[in-house]
A and B are shown apart, each in its own frame.
Chain A
Amino acid sequence: MTASLLVQSAVIGLSIGSIYILMALGLTLMFGMMHIINFAHGAVYMLGAYVIYYVFFQSGAPYFVSFVVAMVLLGVFGYLVERSIYRPVKGGIEPTLVALLALTTFLQAAGYPVFGQLDKHVPPVFEGTKNVLGVMVSVERLVIIPIAAALVVGLYLFINKTKMGAAMRAIEQDKEAAALQGVNVHVVNGLAFAIGFALAAASGALMAPIFKLDPMMGEQPLLKAFIIIILGGLGSIPGAIVGGLMLGLIDSIVATALGAEPAFLLSFVFIILVLLFKPTGLFGYAQ
């Protein structure tokens, strides 16, 4: 592997890693508060990408407007899912997981009749390439990095500097105590759903101009996000960021060297081993 190829994989890895981080952050946030794994995260990513297809490409709205539309629409959808699925089962973890699984398969399967059997393509938003350390990298991929970083910083500020964020942290620490102190647990859980869904939609929206669109497109990033939050420790936000960067880099280098399927297989075996022997995550960010 030449140096320039390495730099190129590294930059691509960094931009893909940013997408994974956005996905993983929502998952880990929801896990930290409700101890559930949102299986529907990949389907929401897919929907985010399709919003870009219809609003940006088909209707001609500016890209950033479409991006915000995707986040808001799916954020609202997330809130509704909390209201109509999570809340009625009253915090039962097992029925919630099964219901989210059903929601996932529903959204994916419904994607075929609704969006059509054929793959969709979104034309590039940012044309051209840029010279990074002597390697030409497409602007489309580069621009993902600052946008994702801005969203991560925004989430960080929200959680640490606002009242709602404080309520989220309180629920993560101790749900009963938070409720006793007057935190409206339902509303805050709904907000966590909304944020998680909006971040997944943002990831899909960022990737729409780069990959082809099909209803199953969310599977791969969902599984990657699983790997990340398991590596980083379920419920840990810093863990998700470190894990995402690591996986993005390793992934793009390993996949270049070995091929996609074996790389995928290895990552699953790795997940199982981590879960079995170090369920708090590799970096020890245990709760």
Chain B
Amino acid sequence: MRRFALIALPYAWLLALFLVPFIIVLKISLSDIDLAIPPYTPTLDFSEGWAGIKAFFRGLDFENFVFLTTDDLYWKAYISSLKIALIATALTLLVGYPIAYGMANAPDHWRPTLMMLVILPFWTSFLIRVYSWMGILSTEGYLNQFLLGLGLISEPLTILNTPTAVYIGIVYTYLPFMILPIYSALERMDGSLLEAAEDLGCSRLKAFWLITVPLSKTGIIAGCFLVFIPTIGEFVIPSLLGGSQTLMIGKVLWEEFFNNRDWPVAGAVAVVLLLILIIPIVLFQRNEQKQRELEG
């Protein structure tokens, strides 16, 4: 009985506030737009019995999904989101790996402090961290002032409101997600493996490529997914740093919903976004599973 209550309470909560809403989105994405509040035509009417159910299914169509393919705004936004997420993930890996490597090689008594320094930004507001780059990257911002002052450039660079700013923002905010899994993989590594590789004739660089990189692979993969998956649906960073040039699907969805008030299309956008996300999520789960098996 107690076990039943233990299971039932969180189960019911998640059913009501996670699964049901999601089914509603799915249903609305299959409905027609209507200029009312709520702005879509009503739905399943049980009072009409079987006929009502049939009418409901007849009312459903893939019109909104077809619409997504006809207007190139949407598929361009999907492609652009994927591209930005991919490049940003690669950049985050490039920046994050040396930091994780440095942490793993640091003396034992430094490591808790280094860990805290990596985690601390994660506890501070995401919005503020993205915002802090607006002042740095703008035309009259601190970076341009600094570079002009050094005489490295004669004209201020335009960085804010370009994809470059979005990449910087993503690398900055998601860096801890890349560093931590790689660090934990590197930290677990047995140092004598590198000595063995050297003993067998490897240079240090070669030993790094043949031993360290393959052994931190699970950490690299986990870190990449932890950056890639949330980046695809990212809204705050492209809105604040990307300007009108940067097309990302999270932003399109937001605008479709709040500005155009086209809920069925917004629903369809969301459903397609989730379908896109399923592949990396499944791959990520498999990587985690593999790692757990290796450890166990």
Q: Do A and B bind each other?
A: no
Which positions in A face B, CB cutoff 8 Å?
A: none
Which positions in B face A, CB cutoff 8 Å?
A: none
